[in-house]
Chain A
Amino acid sequence: AQTVTQSQPEMSVQEAETVTLSCTYDTSESDYYLFWYKQPPSRQMILVIRQEAYKQQNATENRFSVNFQKAAKSFSLKISDSQLGDAAMYFCAYSTGGSNYKLTFGKGTLLTVNP
């Protein structure tokens, strides 16, 4: 069974600084997708960034980027120029078939942004 591990229950960062959230996963599949979701206090899960395993290039979305290390089964999220609105729970997730398939989530990392 696929598993997703987030080893940092909590992280904090100063506003405008950079922070990296860690995620490792275990799978025997060769074709899969990885995601980072943000869950603010409103509870709604919001997709931050997505990475297809067959793509060697790391995904980027504005201030958010990933470091995808396929051999190490590592998928970290880097948030640059952190903003107060970035404070939330961040979940790493895995899927064998993209967003339309079952998502397996980690336990999450609570990110605090200090002004």
Chain B
Amino acid sequence: DAGVTQSPTHLIKTRGQQVTLRCSPKSGHDTVSWYQQALGQGPQFIFQYYEEEERQRGNFPDRFSGHQFPNYSSELNVNALLLGDSALYLCASSLAGAERKNTEAFFGQGTRLTVV
């Protein structure tokens, strides 16, 4: 089991550019959540996707958007990059359903985005 995989591992972009980060969930999982972790901070929830729809969203501007594909993989897109968007972006997958309260979220190793 490959667990949660994210790509790329590192990325450097220029202010104003757009970026797409990718996440493949753990086998059998159908829900993907994205978090932003600034240096020295705890992760902050961006949004969650289930059944190809955004189900929950944190306090992030519309520049942050996402997508979930039929195979449950997901993309995080950030437009008009700002220096403050530099962070570690974490993807977490989990399983929805009747026992959703008892499922564990598994995290990937993240994508380190640097905006210059």
Contact = CB atoms under 8 A, between A and B. Distances in A.
Contacts of A56: none
Given A44-B109, A100-B31, A100-B105, A105 B58 contact: no
Contacts of B94: 99-100
Contacts of B42: 4, 91, 93, 105-108
Contacts, number: 66
A76 B97 CA distance: 30
Interface residues of B, number: 29
Nearest to A92: B42
A11 interface: no
Interface of B: 31, 33, 35, 40-45, 48, 56, 58, 88, 90, 92, 94-96, 100-105, 107-110, 112
Interface of A: 4, 33, 42-47, 50, 91, 93, 97-108
